[in-house]
Each structure stands twice: as structure tokens, then as C-alpha cells.
Amino acid sequence: MRYLTILPLLLIPACALVTPSTSEREHYFITEVKPVLQQHCLACHNGTLPPPALNLTSKAAAFKRSPSGRDYILPGDPCCSLLISAVQRGGTHPKMMPRKEMSLTEDQIGMLREWIEDGAYWPEGEKGTLRAVKGIETR
């Protein structure tokens, strides 16, 4: 019985420090992740590539596995996420994503890593619906 009263006291401060709230995660997705994916990936990964290619239009579609059985997005583990390996491929690799002339910056790759490390929060509904955007439009 005693530890039942102590446990919450130990857990609450730890969670508050380590785990961002849902609204913080949603904000991160909408302001950081979504614009980059929409600008750099959705022109192709929008469901029109022949299945089972990666489809980034919604959480349900994006969290499917690759034909080789790997996770594109493995929450908590950027190293095992095919999405991260793909955008990190250098130079002339034929499967580099996206192609060289539109590859992501180190900052953008770091941001995607951090997002996946942090659980890859992806909201449902309109907020989590991605479509291609071009140029400076960011939402």
C-alpha cells in the first residue's frame, strides 16, 4: 500500500521533464514535420505510386511496412526507420530520397529524427492529412 502513494510522486516529475504533452507534439508535427514532408515528399508519395510504395498522406497509410517488411516509421527508433535511412543516403545512391537536387538539409533530417525518437506523433483527421505543397507555403 505504501508504494501506491509514493509512486505518483516519483512518476509525475519524471514525465513532466521527459515527455512532451500531446499538444506540444501536435504543434511540432504541424509546424515542423508536416511542412517538410508536404514540400519534399508528397509530390510523389501521395498514394499515386504503385502500392505498396510509401504513402505519406495519412498516419494509417504512412505507418504501413515496406515490401521488405521494414518499418518506414518506427516510433522511438529513427535508426530502424526506413524513412530516415532514405533521406540520409548520400550523393549518387539510386534510392536517395528525395533526389539530390532537392535533398533535405541537415537541420530537416535532424528534425525528422527527433520527431521519430519522440514517438512520431501524427494526429488523426485534417491536421494529419498531408498533400503536396510547393514553394514557401508551409501549412
- Provide, rounded to whole angstroms, the least separation between the CB of residue 44 and ligand HEC: 3
Q: With CB under 6 A as the contact rule, which of the stretches 8-16, 45-53, 57-65, 123-131 interacts with ligand HEC?
A: 45-53
In the window 69-88, what residues touch ligand HEC (CB under 6 A)?
72, 82-83, 86-87
Q: Is the peptide bond before 35 cis (omega within 30 degrees of 0)?
A: no
Is residue 59 close enough to count as binding ligand HEC by CB under 6 A?
no
Contact between 98 and ligand HEC by CB under 6 A: the answer reads yes
Grid coordinates belonging to 131: 498533400
Query: Per rule CB under 6 A, is residue 43 in the interface with ligand HEC?
Result: yes
Cα(86)–Cα(101) distance, integer angstroms: 15
DSSP string computed for 54-68: ---SSHHHHTSBPTT
Sequence-distant (6+) residues with CB within 8 A of 109 are: 84, 87, 88
Q: Quick one: 54 or 116, whose CB is closer to ligand HEC?
A: 54
Cis-peptide, bond into residue 98, ω within 30° of zero: yes
Q: Does 53 contact ligand HEC by CB under 6 A?
A: yes
Which residues lie near ligand HEC (CB under 6 A)? Answer: 40-41, 43-45, 49, 53-54, 66, 72, 82-83, 86-87, 95, 97-98, 104
